[in-house]
Every structure is written in structure tokens, then in C-alpha cells.
A and B are shown apart, each in its own frame.
Chain A
Amino acid sequence: MFFLQLALSGLAQGAIYALVALSMCVVYRATTVVNFGHGDLVMAGAFVVYLLVVLAGLPFPASAIAAVALLFILGALIEIGLIERIKAGPHIGFALMCIAVGYLLRGAARAVWGREVLPMPRVFDFPPVMLGELVVTADALVIFSAVGVLLMLFFGLFYRTSAGRIMQAVCQSERGAALVGINVRAFHGVMWGVGAAMGAIGGVLVAPLTLLHPGLGAGFLIKGFAAMTLGGFGSLGGAVAGGLLLGVAEQWVGGYVSTKLIDITAYLVIILVLALRPSGLFGQAVAERV
């Protein structure tokens, strides 16, 4: 029972990691830029939903959707306004631009709520469901269903619809896509928007669970990296699988080995995977062309 309970909580936790990793992977696949400030977008999503629920008094579902929309716009603006403008600069500049944007978001949240630790009102208040001895909490159920629906939506859109095919085309070769008349710049903006929106959904799902403080996002960045690396950098399915695996691994390590190791499970995963199998579980090795 202990084993299954840990796995169950691990999956709930892993679902959030999967969502964050997938949103980072979408941005990477579409624009070859890894968003080192992504954790703060998750935090921004949580704060926006708090603002709408507590200050504006909107019901949770409405404010959740509004928050995701706002973050979509923010993500697109970041790409078009900032990332696109430094395309000519040194390649390393992208990483710092993402970090700077994240730091600016954290600073802005700090300036307004620096001293507050904000509680979100309880949203899903039905008691936990008992599966035999296994306890499935309301929050876990919500996260599972939300992430599940999202993944089906995303992969359906990505592989089934024409918009999805455009996305795949640009992911494979930007120049090729541009040649056939796809507006690559707008596409990058859209994909950053999608990434930011999905990150915000992660924030929205986590908000009721934990308390909101500007430093909320930092942890998610490293967990997202570990999930992407485990699943194979750049592989969308891999990011999801990696996230779920990481969540479960953390709980098992905590349950069976030592709770002190939970914190560094992500780091160990990154180092082990890159040492043993750099392309991760589902990724392809990056061939260096002469």
C-alpha cells in the first residue's frame, strides 16, 4: 500500500512537472530557445489567478482561463518584443534574456507582494476518494484530469490539425517553412504564447495547493529540465513521460531511501541520464554535421 500511495502522489506531482516540461519543450522545439526563466512564468500564472479570484472576485474557472489567456499574451510579447530582437546577438544572449525576464517578473511580484505569503481559497473541496486503503485527494484528481485533458488537447492539435502540421513543419526547418509562406516570426510568438500559457496552467493548478510567494517558480525550472532530459531533450512525449517518472521517482526515493534526497533526485536524474544516455529515453542523438 505504501508503495502505491507514494506512486499515486508521485504521479500527481509528476503531472505538474510534465506540464512544465512540456511547455518548455514546446518553446524549445519551435524556437530552439530554452526558456531559463520559465519557472517565473509558472509563478506569474499562479499570481494572476490569485489576483482574479481574490481581488477581482471572479469564480475560479473563469479566472483560470483568463490567467492562461493573459499569460499567452505575455509569452507572445516576450518573444516578439525581446527574443526576436536579439536573434543577431551572441547565442548565449538568449539564455540570459530568458533569465532576465524571469528575474524581472519575480522582482515585480516582490515589489507588490514581497512580504506576503498569499493563501488561495479552497477550490475543490470534496473529500478524498478512498480506493481500498489508497487515498486519492481532490487536488490529485483535479491535476490528473486537467493535465490529462490538456495533453490530449495538445497532442491532438499538434498531430491531427493543419495548425499542428504547420507547427511540426517549422519545428523541423524554419527556412523551409518560411519558403512555403509560413510567417515564422508570428509562429514563434504563438509558440512562446502556448508555452507560457501551459506554464501558467501549471501555476494555476499548484496555486490552491501551496501558498503564493514570488520565489514559487524557481523549483519548477530545474524539475522541468530534469523531466525534459529524462524523456529526451526536445521530445514532446518524452517530456511528459519524464515528468511523471520524475514525480514518482522523487516519492519512492523519499519513501524508501531518505527524504533528504528528494530535493536532489532531479539533479541526479540529469547527471545520470546525460552521462549514460545523452539522448534520454525517447530523444535522438544530436549529430554534428561537418
Chain B
Amino acid sequence: MAALLQLAGVNVQFAGLQALSNVDLSARGGEIKALIGPNGAGKTTLFNAISGYVPIAAGSISLNGSAIHGLAPHAIAARGVRRTFQNGGLFPELTGLENVLAGLHARIDASFAGILFGTRASRAAERDAVARARRLLDGLGVSHLADVQVNTMSGGQQRTIEIVRAVAAEPPLLLLDEPAVGLAPPVRAQLVELIRRLAGETGIAVLLIEHAIDLVMAAADVIAVFNGGAKIAEGPPAAIRTDPAVLEAYLGHA
């Protein structure tokens, strides 16, 4: 299957600092690719480049064959890219249900006038969206969080809501930025199971930034290793475990 996402020779600079140098990367539907590497290796910068928050100095990023680098974040998202944020991207004052509904924004077809005058069509579109959101929350066993404000939720609950929000619009490409941070072991296992189900059943392409090696080994089909802004290795978990370059980067000796 042709690659859904293709990065070719991507360079990113921050006032002289070479954050990403000549990165090639791809993502395929149904495949979970984990990105690992020490802090500051450029993993989150990569996500920011893909989702349009950071301009790229050179190279190209394309989705389904057409270039998306240079587009505004909301335009890239509209083409089917969803992401989570390292330090939380939820809306604290809104409830779990309202956050998920925000994720469904683009799929609710109700016009300004329709909403203003409360036409039957716009109410129907809204009702369907709410029902869909409640089903998604229920699917992950967090329907009790529907009417709870996000700023009163625990870290784990917030992580789960953020993932539900991201997958609500069934995006072909999902970027998960350290989703397991602060989760208790049983919840982490549930998370791995969810990611596998998303990739397997719905054919979503998943890029996963994660430090917990055990989680990476359990969930990832392919692992790409980054260090100092460059991709130093890519391959199945077994190969990466013994790759000299990776050991060098991580442990300082072969």
C-alpha cells in the first residue's frame, strides 16, 4: 500500500539551531510506527512540522501524494491529520463531551444560518454528533466523564479524553505525542490495546512518540530512532533492539 504520509529531506531551523536535519519518514495505513530517542532529538519538532505549527526550511511533507508543508495547521488537520499534545491539548473549562464534540467540528454540517434560527436540519446534525460523541466515550468506558470539566479530571482521564477527541473524526493519520505519560500500568496496557485496535480495525496510520520502551516494543510495528535532529535507524523492534547505532546513541558504547 503506498505511503499515506511521506517526509523527504525535511530540515527545520530555530534561530541557528538545526532542529531537524534531512529527515525522511513515511507512515502507512494500519501501521504503528514509534519514534524514540533522547530528549531534544527533534521528535516533537517533527510532529509540529507535520501538523503545520513549525515551518520547514527544506524538503517536503506530503499526504496522499499532495504537499501539505506550508499549509496552516487547520488546513492540514482538515485533510485528515489529528494529533495530541505533549503537555495536554484539551480545553480545560469545557467538559469531556464538549471536548470530543470539538473534535467532531469539521464533520457537523450545519450552516451559520441553520444554527442561528435553530432549523430542524442543524438540530439533527447536532443531535447526531452528540450521540456519536457519547458512543465514542462509552466505547472507551469513560462515559461518566461526559459532563465533567476537564480541569477537574486526573492526568490519565485527560489522556484518554484527548485520544477519543483525536480519533472522533476517524483521521487517516494519527500523531500521538507521549500518550502514556502519567498513566498507571493497567491503563497503559489498555492504551496499547486501543492503539492496536485503531490501527488494525480502522486502518489508521499511527505515529507514536513514547519513552516507555516496554510500551513501544508491545505496540509498535516499526521503530524509528532519532538523535540530534537526525533519523539514525528504522526497522522492526527486534532489529532496533540490537542496532549498534541505537546502542551508541542511547548507552554511549556499542
Contact = CB atoms under 8 A, between A and B. Distances in A.
Please tell me whether chains A and B touch each other in their complex, using a CB distance cut-off of 8 A.
yes
A92 to B, nearest CB: 13
A290 B54 CA distance: 9
3 contacts: A290-B48, A290-B53, A290-B54
Contacts of A290: 48, 53-54
Q: Which 3 A-B pairs have the closest CB atoms?
A: A290-B53, A290-B48, A290-B54
- Which bucket holds chain B's interface residue count? under 10
A2 B54 CA distance: 54
A290 B14 CA distance: 13
A290 B45 CA distance: 10
B204 to A, nearest CB: 24
Interface in B46-63: 48, 53-54
Interface in A259-290: 290
B162 to A, nearest CB: 16
B248 to A, nearest CB: 30
Contacts of B48: 290
A290 B89 CA distance: 11
Interface string B212-233: 0000000000000000000000
A91 to B, nearest CB: 13
A12 B138 CA distance: 70
Contacts, number: 3
Contacts of B54: 290
Nearest to B73: A290
B172 to A, nearest CB: 23
B241 to A, nearest CB: 33
A290 B83 CA distance: 14
B16 to A, nearest CB: 15
A39 to B, nearest CB: 33
Contacts of B53: 290
Nearest to B51: A290
A290 B48 CA distance: 8
B87 to A, nearest CB: 10
A236 B249 CA distance: 46
B177 to A, nearest CB: 11
Interface in A121-152: none
A135 B54 CA distance: 59
Nearest to B85: A290
Nearest to A290: B53
A182 B189 CA distance: 44
A149 B233 CA distance: 65
A27 to B, nearest CB: 28
A290 B177 CA distance: 14
B54 to A, nearest CB: 7
B174 to A, nearest CB: 19
A135 B140 CA distance: 81
Interface in B22-81: 48, 53-54
A89 to B, nearest CB: 13
A290 B53 CA distance: 7
A169 to B, nearest CB: 24
A187 B37 CA distance: 41
A53 B44 CA distance: 64
A290 B46 CA distance: 13
Nearest to B54: A290
B178 to A, nearest CB: 15
B225 to A, nearest CB: 24
B151 to A, nearest CB: 12
Nearest to A287: B15
Nearest to A90: B93
Interface string B136-169: 0000000000000000000000000000000000
A290 to B, nearest CB: 5
A64 B53 CA distance: 54
A106 B243 CA distance: 74
A290 B85 CA distance: 10
A290 B51 CA distance: 12
A88 B199 CA distance: 41
Interface string A63-107: 000000000000000000000000000000000000000000000
